[in-house]
Structure 1
Amino acid sequence: MSTPIRLGTRRSALAQAQSGHVAAALEKVIGRSVELVPITSEGDTNRASLSLIGGQGIFATRLREALLAGGCDFLVHSLKDLPTKQPDGLVIAATPLREDARDVAVTRDGIPLHELIPGSRIGTGSPRRIAQVRIRAPHADVVDIRGNVDSRLQKVATGELDAVILAAAGLSRLGTDSPLRREELGLAEWPTAPGQGSLAVETRTDADPELLSALAALDDESTRLAITVERAVLEGLDAGCQAPMAAHAVVAGSSVRVRTVVYAADGAQRIGLDVTEDLNGEYIRRSGSGNGADAADGADPMHAARELGLNLARRLLDQGAADLVSREHSS
């Protein structure tokens, strides 16, 4: 019997659920068993506010250390938790098909956020979501919270909070069965974090070629194009993973539509862009991306996607985004 492939994962129920989905898919491709290797990240033990400790790999660093040390063969991350700088020796081998990228507001009785009475308590630990709540429900009180999905839902069920903001994809992957009511927050007015709803499958650059090939089979090209644009916006802003900013891209054929917003922490100001570009040639030619005719024929759409994101970040900065975010030089 062949040796199982070891998948390093955080210990949370959500992390293990999404890792389990990837494990099952890989087993079908490679014909070998995959076992989960639970690893405790700093984000699982440090209960301080995310707005204070930042997003500088707090959920990924220890997992990556274990991977580089040979403690596992590959990792599954929530892509939105990853810094944009890729460590030496590691590669994102696959980005599976993205799930629902929206946020949802969870309440006891289904009252929309903007209709909650003044003084209602809305829980979230994300600076981006805090700013968005202050725009959507300016008379509510925002409560900075941490904890797993079940503990957050329990705070609403018991009346400690009137609402919490969560990722739709996380609720879907957990299959949470709850009598609480959900309000889906549309991406046009409530764009989400770069990479939200996406998973990143990471391994060593010197991994077994059989494993690299099998992981590549899990990759979804449209998802990778979209998240490449989104993460390049974050990279260009140089603001860190917990910046009060959003970027969401949708790929349709050779074109990509990007909605990106940078928020003041109190929600009082925002700077945004909504653009559609053709990555199959027109944008490459116009922006000077790629190398000559081959790139102009669409040979390097991932490079063009990254250049588009970086260009959007420059435009945001030109419009004053640097005054709204704390540039951490840590992405």
Structure 2
Amino acid sequence: MTSKRKWIVGSRQSALALTQTNQVLDALSDLGRRHGMPCEFEVRRIVTKGDRILDVTLSKVGGKGLFVKEIEQALMDKEIDFAVHSMKDMPAALPEGLIVGCVPEREDPRDAFVAKAGWTLETLPQGARLGTSSLRRSSQMKFRRPDLVVEPLRGNIDSRLKRLESGEFDAILLASAGLRRMGWEDRITEPVSADVCVPAVGQGALALECREGDEELLALLKLFHHERTAVAVAAERAFLGRLNGGCQVPIGAYATIDAAGDVTLTGFVGTPDGSTLLRETAVGRDPAKLGTAVGETLLARGAARILEEAREE
């Protein structure tokens, strides 16, 4: 009988992070058993800078990798074997020696509108308070509904929902994927179309990050890899990389792949006040070239100025 290989897995300690990590590990355990690679896992909870700072919006905290840096350090120090991240938390460039060894199939990439009294985004009353932790969401909401009062909302999913229930907000925006992974899809009043609010780069996708050259682990992770998701996310991340964007400016991108293998990518850059929204859609076969090209087009159309102004603030 083949002995079980034990892997140490890094995860943030929020309920959502641990839930999605355990869902991944259940799937890997089953795949390993069926392919003659029996394994077991130990989850190491790691607190990141983004977890510690909850009283300031992410755009003001600054820096990249707010939710991954400490976990990546544990990987480089060989304290853990791999990590389960939300792809949207991943900077465009990874530290030397680390790779994304697996991109599982994507959950719903759209934002979720969650409201009291059954309101929709279109029927929310003038002057209603809309809570969101994201510059990307607030920019697009201010553009579409300038009559709303958009206010910052940090914290985990549970605390954000409680603040809605307590009457602090009339509606909030969250990632559909997080609610669905927690089994709370019934809380979603309506999903927000990507045509209305372009999702964050990699939203709904996960990244399993590990050390380069760890062939035994990579063989296991490969069993859970979803190539179509990986290609779509690669286009989105190439766009992000070309813009060198972080949390300080509203940026989003969403890619889909058709049956013929053509990738359609929509990229978005806006001003925080929602006065300017730049969007560009293009189709291609090479995700890296496509993402770069959409980024170049938006830079030429005015995104360069928006990014420069954001960095000067």
TM-score of the aligned structures, taking structure 2 as reference length: 0.92
Q: Which amino acid aligns with 2:228?
A: S
Structure-to-structure mapping, 1:278-297, within 5 angstroms? 279=285
Q: Which amino acid aligns with 1:36?
A: V
Residues 1:250 and 2:256 are matched in the alignment: yes
Whole-angstrom distance in 1 between the partners of 2:185 and 2:295: 39
Residues 1:221 and 2:227 are matched in the alignment: yes
Q: Quote the residue 1:51 is aligned against.
A: 59
Q: Quote the residue 1:103 is aligned against.
A: 111
Q: Is this contact kept in 1: 2:135–2:247, CA < 8 A?
A: no
Shift of 1:327: 7.8
Q: Quote the residue 2:196 is aligned against.
A: 189
Residues 1:76 and 2:84 are matched in the alignment: yes
Query: Which deviates more, 210-219 or 107-116?
Result: 107-116
| Structure 2: gaps of 5 or more residues | 33-37
Shift of 1:140: 1.2
Alignment match of 2:71 (pick from 63, 82, 88): 63
Q: Which amino acid aligns with 1:11?
A: Q
Whole-angstrom distance in 1 between the partners of 2:309 and 2:184: 36
What value does the CA root-mean-square deviation take over the aligned residues? 1.7
Q: Quote the residue 1:27 is aligned against.
A: 29
Q: Is this contact kept in 2: 1:238–1:328, CA < 8 A?
A: no
CA 1:257/1:181 → structure 2, altered by over 3 Å: closer, same or farther? closer
Shift of 1:160: 0.9
TM-score of the aligned structures, taking structure 1 as reference length: 0.87
Count residues in correspondence. 302
| Aligned structure 1 segments of 4 or more residues deviating by more than 4 angstroms | 326-329
Alignment match of 1:320 (pick from 296, 302, 308): 302
Residues 1:148 and 2:156 are matched in the alignment: yes
Percent identity between matched residues is 36
Deviations 1:21-54 (A, max 9, x none): 1111111222211221111111111122111013
Shift of 1:4: 2.1
| Structure 1: gaps of 5 or more residues | 280-303
Q: Which amino acid aligns with 1:74?
A: F
Q: Quote the residue 1:239 is aligned against.
A: 245
Residues 1:309 and 2:291 are matched in the alignment: yes
Shift of 1:181: 5.0
Whole-angstrom distance in 2 between the partners of 1:181 and 1:230: 25
